[in-house]
Chains A and B, each alone.
Chain A
Amino acid sequence: MNSAATAASEWYRPTSLADALAIRASARGAVVAIAGCTDLMVGWNAGSRRLPSVLDLSALPELGAIEVGPDAVTIGAAVCCARIAAHPAIAGRLPMLASSARQTGSIAIQNRATLGGNIMNASPAADNPPVLLAFGARVTLASVRGSRTLDYAAFHTGYKRTLAEPDELLVSVTVPYPAPGASSHYRKVGTRRAQAISKVALAALIETTDRAEDGTRRVRDARFGFASAGPVPLTAPSLSAALRDSPLPAIDRLLVERALASDLSPIDDIRSTAAYRRQVAVNLVMAALAEASQVP
């Protein structure tokens, strides 16, 4: 057993955010923050049994709540995916987020995997970040120096790099409600439903104008989030710009393909190839647009 190795490390379980931030500040990165451990403990098992000192975030009330506001839902960073998927206001007003949470691994994983861990682990394949990007979410970080709220779209700066400083914790994520009648959907293309890491995933939020006299409707605003299509979870600014005011459903596949060519930078890896990922990304966007044109 590993008691000799683990005896040396500290285990902190603060019950207030202020205490947690003080520990985070004094430890200068030498203490690992843990939430649901579904990313962290995979490494611990495979690697050395010598565990680092630990700052357990699971007893912090400030990170554990879901607050339903008039314009947005604010979700504590330590709320698990199962709770997000089952929350009535999220299922009702942000169904795309309920959907991505329900696809974040098996139920045993969803019961532990937190939204904050999914973001801070900073995997380009993670399921919830694309949805947060499409919804235009904001993230709130805190340290002993104070707290700040940022646009999530700017948060991932490079592979496994984010704007969070080493002394900061992610406190919450605020997700604004989309315009009434907007069409949203999250599609993950993987090998198996519940567990597979995505080969490509798309979150799409599409607002359309009312039907004109000739029955057509136009894209008012379309926002996207992609997983596994580049080094970080990506938005698709060129595609969003190209689609603005375009009539549905007459959108040309080539237009989508061209826009995505500059928005995405997929790679070849064991799960798939870059070329296949580009194809799938285009297909997913076309399907989302077709769905948006069906909205009554």
Chain B
Amino acid sequence: MNFARTLEFTLNGRVLSGADGSIASPSMRLLDLLRLQAGQTGTKEGCGEGECGACAVLVDGEVVNSCLVPVGQLHGRTVMSIEGLPRTDPLLEAFARAGATQCGICTPGMILAARALLDRQPDPSLDEVREALAGNLCRCTGYARIYAAVLDAATVRGGDA
């Protein structure tokens, strides 16, 4: 009963496992598994210390920083990185429309943190958007356009429902 071989979780709809080698080791950071082993480089490394949110992904729909998650703790869970976000997500359009992306390093983490917010609170206030994105740093945009994009995506979604 070697845990490393029984370890299994779902990444963007695909099952990864220790048994078939798609998870190298339980102590690997989720960030490294994504970028180095799964070849999914949409998730970025900024600080490696939980401060910037560039590495944010969703685990069972909740936003976490993948630089602080050893994959051994993901047994039975479902991980979504930016590659797993449906192309039709209104946040993508809204970010483009608002000019909420410049260099783009923060964008995948911003969008996933915003997705977790909108799933929990489909009609957030500006303050709620700020609070939800407070762990995601952006060196380029000054944030206003990012907040506007999230609020905009919320109205699109509201209109759909």
Residues of A that sit less than 8 Å from B by CB: 1-3, 6-7, 9, 11-13, 34, 36-38, 41-42, 45-46, 51, 54, 56, 58-59, 82, 105-109, 111-112, 193-195
Contacts of A111 in B (CB 8 A): 59, 62-64
Interface centre among B26, B27, B50 (most CB of A within 10 A): B27
- Are A107 and B132 interface neighbours, CB within 8 A? yes
B50 and A46 contact, CB distance less than 8 A = no
The answer to whether A38 and B68 touch across the interface, beta carbons within 8 angstroms, is yes
Given the interface pairs A34-B70, A38-B68, A59-B75, the reply to whether A1 lies near B36 with Cβ below 8 Å is yes
> Which residues 21-50 in B have Cβ within 8 Å of A in the complex?
24-29, 32, 36, 48-50
Contact partner of A82 among B32, B49, B51, B62, CB < 8 A? Answer: B62
Beyond A37-B70, A41-B68, A58-B73, whether A107 also contacts B131 by CB under 8 A is yes
Q: Report yes or no: B27 in contact with A6, Cβ–Cβ below 8 A.
A: yes
Query: Do residues A13 and B75 form an inter-chain contact, with CB atoms below 8 A?
Result: yes
The smallest beta-carbon distance between B66 and chain A, in angstroms, is 9
**Among all A-B residue pairs, the 5 with the closest Cβ atoms:** A106-B135, A194-B134, A11-B26, A41-B68, A51-B27
A56 engages B27 (CB within 8 Å):
no
For A13, the chain B residues whose CB sits under 8 A away are 3, 72, 75
Taken together as a complex, chains A and B put the C-alpha atoms of A112 and B73 apart, in Å, by: 11
Which residues of B, 58-98, contact A by the 8 Å Cβ criterion?
Answer: 59, 62-65, 67-70, 72-73, 75
Q: Is the CB of A108 within 8 A of B53?
A: yes
Starting from the known contacts A108-B53, A108-B135, 10 additional A-B residue pairs (CB-CB under 8 Å) come to A11-B26, A42-B49, A46-B48, A51-B27, A54-B27, A54-B72, A106-B135, A112-B64, A112-B69, A195-B134
B65 touches A109 (CB 8 A): yes
Tell me, yes or no, whether B149 is within 8 Å of chain A by CB.
Answer: no
Rounded to whole Å, the gap between the CB of B82 and the closest CB of chain A is 14
Inter-chain CA distance A2–B3, complex, in Å, is 18
For the A-B complex, the count of residue pairs with Cβ-Cβ distances under 8 Å equals 96
Task: Tell me the minimal C-beta distance from B18 to chain A in angstroms.
Answer: 10
Residue of A nearest to B65 (CB): A108
Size bracket, chain B contacts? 35 or more
Task: Say whether B113 faces chain A, with CB atoms less than 8 Å apart.
Answer: yes
- Check if B53 sits within 8 Å of A106, measured CB to CB: yes
B73 touches which of A3, A56, A107 (Cβ 8 Å)? A56
Look across to chain B and name the residue whose beta carbon is closest to the beta carbon of A4: B25
Q: Which residue of B lies closest to A112 (CB)?
A: B64
Chain B contacts for A82, CB-based, 8 A: 62
A12 contacts B69, CB within 8 Å? no
| A and B contact pairs by CB, cutoff 8 A, 11 listed | A3-B24, A42-B49, A54-B26, A54-B70, A54-B72, A59-B75, A106-B134, A107-B132, A107-B134, A108-B50, A194-B131
The answer for the CA separation of A54 and B72 in the assembled complex, in Å, is 10
- Report how far A58 CA is from B3 CA in the complex, Å: 14
Residue in A7, A9, A107, A111 whose Cβ sees the most chain B Cβ within 10 Å: A107
Residue in A6, A37, A108, A193 whose CB lies within 8 Å of B56: A108
Q: Is the CB of A193 within 8 A of B69?
A: no
Please indicate the chain A residues that have their CB under 8 angstroms from the CB of B65 in the complex. Answer: 108-109, 112
